[in-house]
Structures are given as structure tokens and as C-alpha cells.
Structure 1
């Protein structure tokens, strides 16, 4: 029997001025991602990258979960290692698009962020979490697959090599507080404060200089790939931008800058 649209899950988009919320929605499966959801997420990221009016991207789940990995029922059709490799490459391309976005990306985690859900959070810039959130990739005791180098490198950079490997090898889940201590989560907040905290943070980020934000993100991405990466081109772009001139003028005139994004 063919899956219905509801069974396949959806990616919902909610626009609030310069802030775009991408909502992972798969009712009944803790927002586990399906092939359809991956396709829609890839499309949403492409549209975001092409729209300069979007200043902040928020990724969140629906109904008490961020994302419980990939929907494992889809793996039942896999009969060869090549199919698994193709899947990882497909997800890897989406994560790469997420990492290359030139705007702040906030992962708003309320509930489990597991497997692919953790990978998406790891490839975001800032993670805020509710007190009940958990993080992990327990594949060593569940599915028996593996994660690709880009995800492992990102996890090690965000929470340390020792803690990352212990989490993976023990197939353990980290509570929000421990993930914060590791440096993976920026802030842990109570449920009743979650929406207000997210709104305040995303609004503040939407008011920052776009050229500076894009340069900082690209610098971070380069340094994770090569600790000796050169950033002279990014410095030249910032100092040569109209936004830099506007920032200096606004500072000396004691007013709020009017950023143009170039």
C-alpha cells in the first residue's frame, strides 16, 4: 500500500518578517525524516539561499520533538551497501547546503534530536534547547549503520572528540544540560520560556549586518576544514562594503545602522 502524504511527513514554512521557520512535521513518528521531507528540506534551503530578504533561518520540529532521525521503515528496501552510500550522500548534500547558508541558522530543539536530527542541529549555527531535550546518534544499538565524516567532524568540533566518541560508541543520549556543558547547546530554557527566548534571539540576529554574518559563517566553515585557512578575501569584502561605511557612520552619529547587505 502506498504511503499517504501524512505518512510521508512534510516540511512546513512559516515566515515572520525577515525570519523564516522551517518546521519538520511527521506526526506520529517524532518528526523522523522521510525521502519526501528530505526533498522538501533541500528545496526550502535552496529558496532561502536565493532570497536576500530572509535574514534568519530557524529549524524546529512539531509536537514535542525536533527529529528522531531518518524514518527507519524506509531502510527496509535497502539490499546493498551502495543504496546506503547513496542515502548518506543525499543527506550530506543537504547538510552541506545548510552549512553554506550565509545567514544565521538556529536549531530550536524541544524534545529528541537524534540521528539525522542531531546532524541537522550540529550543522546549524546556534542550538537552543528545552529542558526535556535529548541528543544522540544511538545507531550502534539500533540500526547498525554509520555516520559520514562531515557529521562526525562537526560533532567533534561542537562537543569535543572524547565526548563525541563516548556518546557514539556507547550509543548514549545526552540530556540538554550535558549537551550545554559540552558546548553543543548555547542555552537550555524552561518550556514556558522557550518561545520567548527563541523570538528574542532570532529577532536580534535578524538586525545584524548581513555581510559580517556571511563572512563569519564562511570563516567558521573554512576553519573546520582547515585550521590554517586564509580569510583575507572575507576581510577585504567586509572592509570594502557599503555596510562597513554605514556602520562607522551610524556609530559616530549615535544612531542605529541601516544595513543594506553589500
Structure 2
């Protein structure tokens, strides 16, 4: 059986990632977490990357949480604190990726898999996708503030607590209604839809996309009065903005440079 790993493939302006843990529904190991932690720097160091797509390998799941075998060595409450801090660092890193991140969910996205999907900007799901963190029924552990806050932002506070307190799984249709899932796509049409979506994203102005992500981060942290003049100035002072205005007035398409 192949080892658990984060598979990373560069495809021109697209960085493609697969969570891969065969036979364990892509449950996430420490090495896979470490791989995810490094993606922000990979994107930051390569201005040609316009979009990241993350999915589960093998078609059996997006990710069925953390690989539980890794909890066997836990002996104290501090072990759990250290674990949650480690995962929190990964999630914060994912949220800090400068380009849009698209999650493609086919099957379960539960526990840490749900948290990772929640840290992506867009979520495309198949009809059999399910979402949840049923820890109250399974492991008897809990969720840290970062994950709870992100779920509340994406699902709503009431729905999040109902989901967690009942330890049930949310079907894709409910997740779409809540706004967590961007689009439900039948399996046979999934690849074409995803590729069209990636083409649309990478055709847009990269500075605009990056600025929207940065401003959203600040609004979520500080509210509507968050300071963002530096971001606004960088976008309005860019060559891309000048090219965009000229192209609009001249009815010509614009080749975005990201500068």
C-alpha cells in the first residue's frame, strides 16, 4: 500500500494537491500536515501560480479527519493542546495563501477534513459528499477556537452548534444551502466543471483576488472598520489597474501581470 502523503503537482498557473492515505479514507498524518503547512510559502515564492486546488486522492473521501493512530501516544491534556496548536498553525497557513484555494469534496470531509475544507475559499462537492465533526460521538475530544470560529463564519453559528452537539453529518445539499458548498456537481460532470472554474479564476486579475482574500481576513478579525488602506493603495497603484482601465475604455481584453 502506498504511504500517506500530500501529493503536489505544478500545472502551469495551477497548483494541484491531493490528500492521500490509501485504505484510511485519506486520514491526515503528521507528514501530510507538514506538507500542507508549506504550501503558503510555495505559492508566495512562485508568482505564476494563480489558483490552488485541493482534493482527496482515490475517490473514496476528501479526508476522514486526523489519522487516529497518531493519538495512541497521547498521555496528558498537554498532548492534545500541542496537537491542536499544530493543526491550527496549518489551518492559519492555508487561510494565508495569497491565491484562491478550491476544495473538491467527493465523499466525507469530517473532523480535520471539514476544518481544511472550511479554510478553502470555494468548495465544490459531489452529491454524496458529507461534512461534519462528530467528535462527541466518536473520539470524545473537542474543537479549538479557530476551527469553531471558521465553521461559524462558513455555516452560521446556529447550524454549527447544532451540527457539533448532535454529532451528525451534514449532507452536501444542506451545506450548499448554508453557503459552505459553492456548487454540487454530479460525479460524471465534476472534472469538466472544476477545470472550467479554475480557468475562470486564473483568468481574473490576481492582485484583485489576493486583495479580496486579505481584506476578508482583516474584516473577520477586526470587523468592518479594519484598516486596509495599504491593500487598497497597492491595487489602485498597480500596472494591472491602469491596464484594466485602459482595456475597459478601449473594449480590449487585458493580460493581467500581477503587478
Deviation of 1:14 (Å): 2.2
Which of residues 232, 237, 247 is equivalent to 1:250? Answer: 247
Deviation of 1:162 (Å): 0.3
For 1:34, the equivalent position in structure 2 comes to 29
Asked if structure 2 preserves the Cα contact closer than 8 Å seen for 1:19 and 1:203, the reply is no
Mapped partners of 1:68, 1:15: distance in 2: 25
Mapped partners of 1:16, 1:252: distance in 2: 33
For 1:143, the equivalent position in structure 2 comes to 139
Which of residues 99, 109, 114 is equivalent to 1:113? Answer: 109
Runs of 4+ residues over 6 Å off in structure 1: none
Structure 2: segments with no counterpart, 5+ residues: none
**Is 1:154 aligned with 2:150?**
yes
For 2:229, the equivalent position in structure 1 comes to 232
For 2:99, the equivalent position in structure 1 comes to 103
TM-score, length-scaled by structure 2: 0.96
- Gap change, CA 1:44 and 1:218, over 3 Å in 2: closer
TM-score, length-scaled by structure 1: 0.95
Structure 1: segments with no counterpart, 5+ residues: none
Which of residues 45, 48, 57 is equivalent to 2:52? Answer: 57
**Is 1:216 aligned with 2:249?**
no
Mapped partners of 1:204, 1:261: distance in 2: 16
The secondary structure found in structure 1 opposite 2:58 is coil
Deviation of 1:40 (Å): 1.8
For 2:258, the equivalent position in structure 1 comes to 261
Which of residues 194, 198, 203 is equivalent to 1:198? Answer: 194
For 1:76, the equivalent position in structure 2 comes to 72
The Cα RMSD (Å) is 1.2
Asked if structure 2 preserves the Cα contact closer than 8 Å seen for 1:61 and 1:110, the reply is yes
Mapped partners of 1:198, 1:74: distance in 2: 33
The secondary structure found in structure 2 opposite 1:12 is strand
Aligned residues: 257
Asked if structure 2 preserves the Cα contact closer than 8 Å seen for 1:129 and 1:185, the reply is yes
The secondary structure found in structure 1 opposite 2:17 is strand
Deviation of 1:51 (Å): 1.2
